[in-house]
Structure 1
Amino acid sequence: MVAGVTIHSTADAKAQATILTDDALTFLAAVHRTFEGTRQSLLNARQDAQRKFDSGVPLDFPPETAHIRAEPSWHCAPPAPGLEDRRVEITGPTDRKMVINALNSGAKTFMADFEDSSSPTFANMLNGQLNLHDAVRRQIDFESNGKSYKLTDKPATLIVRPRGWHLDEPRITVDNTPVSGSLFDFAMYFFHNAKELVARGSGPYFYLPKMEHYLEARLWNDVFLFSQSFIGIPVNTIRGTVLIETLPAGFQMEEILFELRNHSSGLNCGRWDYIFSFIKKRRADRTAVLPDRKDVTMTVPFMDAYVRLLIQTCHKRKVAAMGGMSAQIPIKDDAKANEVAMEKVRADKLREVTSGHDGTWIAHPLINKIAMEVFNKHMLGPNQYHVRREEVRVAAADLLNSTFAGEITTEGVRSNISTALAYTAAWVGGNGCIPLNYLMEDAATAEITRVQLWQWVRYASRLETGEVISTALLDRWTDELAPGIKKLAPGVKDGDLKIAVDYLKSQIRQQWPSDFLTSDLMPYLAARDGVAPKFLKAAL
């Protein structure tokens, strides 16, 4: 019973009893009351910025922070214990089996994800916190179907990704206002585990997603300072790696590092969300229409410029420049197809390490060997901070250059429809990470499919056949493909598939696409968790 705090769900009483303690909720309420006003003002600023982009104001490097970019003397914090060598990082959701397998994978670190690979049912969020609580204390071992799951003596270093600033957590209100999903995920993990992690020679480490402005990084830094003081651990114990996965953030990398410099452990190329943001932020620009998703690779002009600038920026400031995720996963039933897929992974990791990245991401333990071999061969030390990339010159136009070969094909459009339907239905059903056609799809990749379909309709793009992409065409193909989704993604329920179909048909008819499908669809999850309609922003 904490004054002003209300829990609006009875989901998973056991996890609630461990995680939602009075002391933890008192901390959450203090964080909320201190920072919620700033969060809301920053979210409003995003909308103001989008209106400027829509009116034709071009994205550019902020003139007011030119002095920060020009000053050579400032650097970020040294690597914290366990983050000195990050050559391979495995990522995934926070279910108990995944946590154990990821920590045992042989990767250097594990990013436990409450964001794009998790569907935020309250049970998922609470049990994820419980699993990490147990993992930190080496008490996560369990048995299932006669098989034993136990942590090794030297598991990977744990990093946690909370949800983005835009998402609410409607199952918890403070003073009748839903708390931030970001602050809920951060606060529960930090409060329960920070002191234990420090005592074990590690620390509370985070991946910070979907920021669009350096002031959002300043907010995180303020949260870190407040939280360390609140529980009584030394200042600058926390480390945060920022995912550069929005187009505006691509123009503010140095500023973001500067704001977090005493807590920073680097930047990451969040490639899939970056492509999503590229389309969304330039939604009013018909010259920014992109071809099939498969043609938007890391070597196209705007992606290549983003990577080169990120590596140069990080090494200039002496922090890690982390690579991104290859979408391929092992193919068990086809050796030849598997070799082709794994060769794509190998080539991707080779591109990253030879460009100067200090580490890379994988989504499956079986890919660890490939990634580790590539980085071990080409990165002999713990990092490549010495690869300064001083020859790199990236102008604003380079970050916006979408001129490259590619076309919009019937296969590409139908693939986008299938992926959007399958992922949306799975997410509403509580699963935030699904394999489709031997690719691992999460919210970021699903978002690309959604906004591409909207973009192609909006600008009457033509298929390779010459046919114009219209709402009528996409409706017809959606109806054709929907019956096969349950075979493509086993476990999807009829009701959830209908939600996905209706949502996609609605989205392609909007003047502008919604900012995030997760914000749109969260009310379905919250309603199932028992939350009253007045705390749900979107209409069901």
Structure 2
Amino acid sequence: MMNDHMETYHEDEDKGMRKGSLHLPEGVRIRGRLAAGYDRILTREALEFVTDLERTFRSRVKWMLDFRKEQQARFDAGEVPAFDPAMVAIREGSWVCDGVPLAIADRRVEITGPVERKMVINALNSGAKVFMADFEDSLAPHWDNVMRGHINLRDAVNKTIEWEDKARNKLYKLNKNTAVLFVRPRGWHLKEAHIEIDGEPATGCLTDFGFYFFHNHEAFRTTHGGAGPFFYLPKMQHSREAAVWNSVFDRAERALGVPHGSIKATVLIETLPAVFQMNEILYELRSHSAGLNCGRWDYIFSYVKTFQGHPDRLLPDRVQVGMGQHFMKSYTELLIQTCHRRGVHAMGGMAAQIPIRDNAAANEAAMALVRADKLREVTAGHDGTWAAHPGLISLVMDVFNANMTKENQIESRKREDVSITEADLIEKPRGVRTLDGLRLNTRVGIQYVEAWLNGTGSVPLYNLMEDAATAEISRVQNWQWIRYGAVLDGESVPIKVDKELFARVVSEELARVEGEVGTERFKKGRFVEAARMFARQCTAAKLDDFLTLDAYSRVVSIVPEARLSRLNGGTFPQHCLHPMIQTISTMLADVQF
């Protein structure tokens, strides 16, 4: 039994903050501010549960991340991803995963979004079969966003969540029938710097999973026939990572007396190495599996990241890298075949379009793209798909209802006609590289990073919903073109992408952004800081693994040691990096490949 100690926090009563104390397990420190309601999540019992997960699995997480680096080094040296010959028995075996719970047999339309309070209510009320509440790509993991997110999900599971829009005099609350809740924790690579365990930042995904599972498993299972809770698992690269998640689930179930196999998780296949491990991933999670999902945007990002050392694999403009590309079509068909052979759902990907309210013709064109994309998915054999906006739910539902009469297609569409080779999965994408593509990448990247720094992780830009996955495509494509001096198509004279050209593009696109958002908004925002950060990552000698790793250091809000024993309300200044302002050209001149 651990000895406990106590750190006491006080908030101003006139701000509605509750006076109280946190009884922390030994070795645990909360380094972020304590606002109203946070103590509902940061209970001693919940922290003990999270601490046990951290101490049990921390070394395995570090080992997995080290293996990723070793694997990338082999790819950089010329190796390409392939099926593991040592795992042929698993790939060719006749095993199946445990049955799909009745509560999630029908997942034909799923909506995704961050764990913001109004979003949670609207998504659960949207008419979708599932809402994936996201702590990952669509959430900027500021401390307050994470803590409030857990409060929101706890209230949602207990059916007490409400939100009042005072300006419109409107109260948002749950309908009688709502979508089934899934939760996506952060990837293995992200830390939670505001919680220290034995002197180290906690692992973000273990805190996300741990707090949600601890506080909600009983209420959730009561209303879902004893099944659940349900999760989405992001950014995997190998079945060994699935094995760790399976061990986390087993330990959590045992610790809280939950029947084995109650937890079900869908794995996003959104990295190129993972597509060669799909059978092995399902095998490791077979008692906890709810299938696989085509995380198409991160998958494109991963294609560049995996082949960052291969100058012969430059992507065309990102708008041309769609599901018609052979390597993308191959991956989705193999995923469907694999999932249905193993008795679980094969989920489709996200259409990034959003309704366009001020242009009927443009809106109809966008909706036609969504309709065609979802028709492709359901006729290929997918059991469901994603939508980013509540306004798309009825359209997507109509497409699936017209083409999928049963709850899913697990038994009816085995796709035994599919025969995908290693070469199919890594075929080079086709298309052109243009100056307009470079400009769009830069404009989107700057605006997304600026929003993320300010706490927003999902941003509508140019009639598309951008999150960390789509922003990553912009970043790594720019890096790839600059790194290898891509020659742009469609120009009267050959133009090679280099740092000098990119510096000009950054300056010009930053000016364009100012014109689009307005000078007042531009000056109040963090656009120049975002441009510096995005430009530095696009020109780095070595490609950063994730945009968010650098960005996170700029939003960590650590309370100084002298104030850990008492907080007097309000938000403390962020622990940010504030380099001296210099021109983009000067900054880029310092970067050497």
Smaller-chain TM-score bracket: over 0.9
My pick for the range that moved more, 383-392 or 503-512, is 503-512
Deviations 1:464-499 (A, max 9, x none): 212111111111110111133255468666562222
Deviations 1:227-283 (A, max 9, x none): 001111111000000000000001100000000000000000000000000000100
Q: Distance in 2 between matches of 1:531 and 1:516?
A: 28
Q: Does 1:480 align with 2:508?
A: yes
Name the residue aligned to 1:215: 240
Name the % identity.
Answer: 47
Q: Does the residue aligned with 2:436 lie in a helix, a strand or coil?
A: helix
* Structure 2 spans left out of the alignment, 5+ residues: 1-23, 562-573, 579-593
Q: Distance in 2 between matches of 1:147 and 1:538?
A: 37
Q: Distance in 2 between matches of 1:224 and 1:485?
A: 45
Please tell me the residue identity of whatever aligns with 1:432.
G
Q: Does 1:235 align with 2:260?
A: yes
Question: In the TM superposition, what are the counterparts of 1:67-466 in structure 2 within 5 Å?
Answer: 67-72=89-94, 74-145=95-166, 146-201=169-224, 202-385=227-410, 386-404=412-430, 406-464=431-489, 465=491, 466=494
Name the residue aligned to 1:530: 559
Name the residue aligned to 1:3: 26
Q: Does 1:517 align with 2:547?
A: yes
Q: Are the structure 2 counterparts of residues 446 and 296 from structure 1 closer, same or farther at C-alpha, using a change threshold of 3 Å?
A: same
Q: Distance in 2 between matches of 1:87 and 1:492?
A: 41
Are the counterparts in 1 of residues 554 and 577 from structure 2 also a CA contact under 8 Å? Answer: no
Are the counterparts in 2 of residues 240 and 266 from structure 1 also a CA contact under 8 Å? Answer: yes
Are the counterparts in 2 of residues 169 and 181 from structure 1 also a CA contact under 8 Å? Answer: yes
Q: Distance in 2 between matches of 1:28 and 1:192?
A: 11
After TM superposition, give the deviation of residue 538 of structure 1 in Å.
11
After TM superposition, give the deviation of residue 403 of structure 1 in Å.
4.2
Are the counterparts in 2 of residues 88 and 109 from structure 1 also a CA contact under 8 Å? Answer: yes
My pick for the range that moved more, 495-504 or 363-372, is 495-504
Deviations 1:429-478 (A, max 9, x none): 11101000100000000000000000001111111212111111111110
After TM superposition, give the deviation of residue 319 of structure 1 in Å.
0.4
Q: Aligned pair count?
A: 533
Q: Are the structure 2 counterparts of residues 486 and 7 from structure 1 closer, same or farther at C-alpha, using a change threshold of 3 Å?
A: farther
Q: Does the residue aligned with 1:148 lie in a helix, a strand or coil?
A: strand
> Which of the two has higher C-alpha Rg?
2
Q: Does the residue aligned with 1:380 lie in a helix, a strand or coil?
A: coil
Name the residue aligned to 2:6: none
Please tell me the residue identity of whatever aligns with 1:473.
L
Deviations 1:48-104 (A, max 9, x none): 0000001112210011111000112x1112112421100000000111110000000
Q: Distance in 1 between matches of 2:363 and 2:429?
A: 32
* Structure 1 spans left out of the alignment, 5+ residues: none
Please tell me the residue identity of whatever aligns with 1:142.
W
**What root-mean-square deviation, in Å, do the aligned CA atoms of Structure 1 and Structure 2 show?**
1.7
Q: Does the residue aligned with 1:525 lie in a helix, a strand or coil?
A: coil
Q: Distance in 2 between matches of 1:28 and 1:344?
A: 43
Q: Are the structure 2 counterparts of residues 494 and 515 from structure 1 closer, same or farther at C-alpha, using a change threshold of 3 Å?
A: farther
Q: Are the structure 2 counterparts of residues 111 and 291 from structure 1 closer, same or farther at C-alpha, using a change threshold of 3 Å?
A: same
Are the counterparts in 2 of residues 425 and 493 from structure 1 also a CA contact under 8 Å? Answer: no
Q: Does the residue aligned with 2:99 lie in a helix, a strand or coil?
A: coil
Are the counterparts in 2 of residues 81 and 203 from structure 1 also a CA contact under 8 Å? Answer: no
Please tell me the residue identity of whatever aligns with 2:120.
V
Q: Distance in 1 between matches of 2:517 and 2:102?
A: 40
